[in-house]
Structure 1
Amino acid sequence: MNELSLFDSLFNNSMDDVFGLGYRTAPVPKVDVTETSDAYTLNMELPGRTESDVNIEIDRNTLTISSKKEELKDAGDKKDKKAEKEGEASKMKYLIRERRMSAFSRSFTLPEDVDSESVKASFKNGILSIAMPRKAVASPKRIAIECA
């Protein structure tokens, strides 16, 4: 164990005592929601993720976006091919390893005029975009009063 990893483990253990075990969890992704007369659009920042890392569900009038990304694999996780040929099984030694697993789940209550059957999602450059078209809402109807 070197000085850097010793310091890191002491800092993390004391912070766990102060803030609880989950203090290092990833922040919830930021969103922008816009509205036009035809649709609502939700844009969520998801850097480092791909469309296969994200799950989108609509249940009644609740939109839930979630993701779980497993431990990242580095080049150091594989044996060096040259060393492998020479019969050595050398691997990179981590001094600090903080990139493990990250997960989030975020839910939004949708307005009543969202057409949930026509919702579409796209993913480009780390931005998830969800287009939610509006459906026609019945306008108030005037009821005539009949005289008896």
Structure 2
Amino acid sequence: MPLIPYDSFKDLDRFRKHVDSFFENVGFGFQQEFGSPRLDLHETGKEVIVHCDLPGLKSKEDVHIDVHDNMLTIHGTIQRHEEMDEKKMHRKERFIGTFERTIKLPAKVQAESTKASYHNGILEIRMPKSADAQQHRIDIEFH
């Protein structure tokens, strides 16, 4: 009889697929249900940059950005006003409602110099690093 290694994550993967199919059949996904937009965060030598997927914003008053205690919070509302007959709706996946996302920043930033722009459904936030957060070489006392 051949030995087959036991895959401990096989059952967990199967459970995840069942949960995903349940939410797909109900008509909404985790992303929509919990209102947490997806984002990318990276840093350069001088700034921390965030790109956040927020399709459907109508105006800048629909989104608010706060930087406090090395945390970034993005929150707002996406509204859609198209009139549709709910009885003829076959699938409803586009997000409608309030959203919020808070993340810890990888470096201290200058909140007052933060700039944000919105184009083609992507919110870009550029936060200059504070002077004490920028990397500098430490001199070693060698005995």
The runs of at least 4 consecutive aligned structure 1 residues that moved more than 6 Å come to none
| Structure whose CA Rg is larger | 1
Q: CA RMSD in A?
A: 3.3
Match of 1:42 among 44, 47, 50: 50
- Who is 1:124 aligned against? 119
Q: Are 1:104 and 2:99 matched, yes or no?
A: yes
- Who is 2:62 aligned against? 53
Unaligned runs of 5+ in 2: 1-21
**TM-score, normalising length from structure 1?**
0.57
Q: Tell me how far apart the structure 1 counterparts of residues 128 and 115 of structure 2 sit (CA, whole Å).
A: 9
Identity %: 32
Q: Are 1:95 and 2:87 matched, yes or no?
A: yes
AA in 2 matched with 1:29: P
| Counterparts in 2 of 1:68 and 1:47: CA distance versus 1, 3 Å | same
Contact 1:26-1:103 at 8 Å conserved across structures: no
Unaligned runs of 5+ in 1: 1-14, 77-92, 144-148
Contact 1:25-1:102 at 8 Å conserved across structures: no
Q: Tell me how far apart the structure 1 counterparts of residues 108 and 116 of structure 2 sit (CA, whole Å).
A: 18
Q: Which moved more, 1:59-68 or 1:125-134?
A: 59-68
AA in 2 matched with 1:109: K
- Who is 2:39 aligned against? 31
Q: Are 1:137 and 2:112 matched, yes or no?
A: no
Match of 2:71 among 48, 59, 62: 62
Deviation at 1:35, TM superposition (A): 1.3
**TM-score, normalising length from structure 2?**
0.59
Contact 1:45-1:127 at 8 Å conserved across structures: yes
Q: Tell me how far apart the structure 1 counterparts of residues 107 and 83 of structure 2 sit (CA, whole Å).
A: 49
Q: Tell me how far apart the structure 1 counterparts of residues 39 and 99 of structure 2 sit (CA, whole Å).
A: 13
| Counterparts in 2 of 1:75 and 1:38: CA distance versus 1, 3 Å | same
Q: Tell me how far apart the structure 2 counterparts of residues 124 and 100 of structure 1 sit (CA, whole Å).
A: 18
